[in-house]
Amino acid sequence: MEFTINDRPETVEAEIVRAAPELLGFSCYIWNIAQVLEIAENVKKVRPAIKIVLGGPEVSFDGPAILAAHPAVDFVVGGEGEGPWTALLAAFPTGTFQDVPGLCWREGGAIRVTPPGEPWPLHALPSPAEVGMEDLAGRLVYYEASRGCPFSCAFCLSGREERVRFADPARVLRDMERLVASGALAVKFVDRTFNCRRDQAMAIWRGLLSYAGRMRFHFEIVAELLGEEELSFLATVPPGLFQFEIGVQSTNPATLAAIGRLADPDRLAANLRALREAGNIHLHLDFIAGLPYETYDRFLTSLDFALPLWPDAIQVGTLKMLSGSRLRDEAATLGYLYRRHPPYEVLANPWLDFTELTRLKVLARLVDLYYNEGRFFAALTRLFARVASPARLLVAFAAFSEKEGWHLRLHQGPELAAHLLRFAEEEGLADPVFRERLRLDLHCLVRDEKEPSWSRGPRLPELRSRWRSWLEAPENRAWLWPEFPGLGPREAFHRTKLLAFRHDPTAPPEEERPGPALVAVVYPSASAFPSRPRTVRFAPAEFGWDGDVDGKIEE
């Protein structure tokens, strides 16, 4: 039975009781453990005969404590579940569980624990695609092509595993063929380091090329491990087929040493530039605030490593003291304060106080709203080019947002642009070039947006009709965007707009191109890559504009 954390507990409880199971199992994570324990307690109250078993990372490392604190729970399974679960089902009718590996249970008033067994080899696991699946059309599917991780990061549970086990690439590709046929929207490979074995990764990547346009595949990789062969191959991958999530976490040598993470920032930067230059793979970088020995200022230096590389997304997360992680075990010694309840988020440490961590959370929200997916690319590139530290500029924006109370409210596109303009004015950075670039960003962000009140763009009433006439020609539509030959002039007109500027907002940030410019904004379909609208610059004369910002287009 599948539910989400957005389902009301009473709804879940009613469905479970209606199904009348003898044995009820829950997979437990930091994001659902509170709801699971509440549901288990209530189900047990109304159906005392139901036996309840918990498994998953949130309970694997503390089984006896879970049983001691929660009488409604009868069993806890530690580690990988296939072997223990199968053995538990076989032993359940007999009531004798000493041969079930990795199990905690009550017996005679005492809590008993069996040692963990050997995990099942991946080739022995039946494929869900072979035994029958629910309807996956339009959904995201999680998939493992390996288990374990070659690294031992102190904040991660995977760091406790001693080896990596790999599935046969041929088996993986057979499963992918079935998943594509199912109509699933995307497949997220949850391998901790998908490219830790080069031949494995390349075999799977090559086998997925034929699904371009029909599926998206997401991978968590270590970018430093990419060699010339992989980079050359990845540059040829069809746009939008792959997405990469890359955990940078920190660039501080002392921090990386403390968490046991090997890193080569120079190679990482070079490989990220190569991937970014190819422009065909969505790049998502992760950072963690609150790691040992990383002060507020040093964290901003880590963030400054990534911002100029312009990945598609940067996620700034707060460190979580996961049960079973080495950092959780060392928290008291290191002087950490963290929330007692899941997700065990850090409150402060000797290097980062609560106020600083709170400010970084506001910064993380601004990065998501303004930076990610290139939402305010034109305006931010202008701002970043004029300051020594983009991260420190963003943290100043975070402070300004807190002062204005903006961080407490949800905002729409026009409000976001107005807030950024207010901040730029406060910093003395809102020159005419910045305003023109911000205006372009707003039109890219909101398709039907009218001219903002702060815009002083040229007013050319005839431009709209000239643009409509230009789109009448099929060859013009084909040149503008590959999708457009199949669209009629009317639909192409509604998917575009032509704007007049006093300064060219498409110029590189270090250049100021004074004088008039015409820029077409082309809005892609929902499935297109990249998802950001395309901008195309035209010379004013192409549409009869003499460049006089107060003049008219010649007839």
Would you list the domain boundaries of the chain? 9-113, 127-351, 353-454, 457-543
How far apart CA 187 and CA 184 sit, in angstroms, is 8
- For 246, residues 6+ apart whose C-beta sits below 8 A from its C-beta are 220, 221, 222, 223, 272, 283, 284, 285, 286, 311
CB atoms within 10 A of CB 541: 12
Considering the domain delimited by 127-351, tell me its CATH architecture. Alpha-Beta Horseshoe (3.80)
Sign of CA dihedral 536, 539, 540, 543: negative
How would you write the pLDDT of the chain (555 residues) with one tens digit per residue?
989 889 999 999 999 999 999 999 999 999 999 999 999 999 999 999 999 999 999 999 889 999 999 999 999 999 999 999 999 999 999 999 999 999 999 998 899 999 999 999 998 888 877 777 678 888 899 999 999 988 889 999 876 766 899 999 999 999 999 999 989 999 999 999 999 999 999 999 999 999 998 999 999 999 999 999 999 999 999 999 999 999 999 999 999 999 998 889 899 999 999 999 999 999 999 999 999 999 999 999 999 999 999 999 999 999 999 988 999 999 999 999 999 999 999 999 999 999 999 999 999 999 999 999 899 999 999 999 999 999 999 999 999 999 999 888 877 778 999 999 999 999 999 999 999 999 999 999 988 878 888 887 788 888 999 999 999 999 999 888 877 778 889 999 999 999 999 889 999 887 777 778 999 999 988 777 777 899 999 988 888 887 665 554 443
DSSP sequence for 468-521 = HHHTTSHHHHHHH-TTGGGS-HHHHHHTEEEEEEEE-TTS-TT---EEEEEEEE
- For 370, residues 6+ apart whose C-beta sits below 8 A from its C-beta are 376, 380, 416, 420
How far apart CA 136 and CA 230 sit, in angstroms, is 31
Burial class for 357, CB neighbours closer than 10 Å (0-12, 13-18, 19+): buried
Tokens found for residue 310: 């312009």
Q: Residue 554 has what pLDDT?
A: 42
Radius of gyration of the chain (CA): 27
CB atoms within 10 A of CB 437: 26
**Residue 5, helix vs strand vs coil:** coil
- ω into residue 119 within 30 of 0, thus cis? no
Q: Residue 133 has what pLDDT?
A: 67
Q: How far apart are the first and last CA of the chain?
A: 67
Tokens found for residue 34: 């509170």
Tokens found for residue 112: 């008993």
Helix (H) or strand (E) holding 110: strand 110-113
CB atoms within 10 A of CB 259: 24
Q: Kindly provide the b/e burial profile for residues 513-527, where b requires at least 16 CB atoms within 10 angstroms of the residue's own CB.
A: beebbbbbbbbbeee
Looking at 307-431, list the stretches that DSSP marks H as alpha helix, in order from N- to C-terminal side: 326-329, 331-334, 354-366, 377-385, 390-404, 413-426
Tokens found for residue 206: 């090559």
How far apart CA 345 and CA 9 sit, in angstroms, is 24
Q: Whole-prediction pTM value?
A: 0.91
**Residue 228, helix vs strand vs coil:** helix
Looking at 100-168, list the stretches that DSSP marks H as alpha helix, in order from N- to C-terminal side: 128-131
**CATH code of domain 9-113:** 3.40.50.2300
Burial class for 271, CB neighbours closer than 10 Å (0-12, 13-18, 19+): buried
How far apart CA 412 and CA 70 sit, in angstroms, is 44
How far apart CA 298 and CA 326 sit, in angstroms, is 23
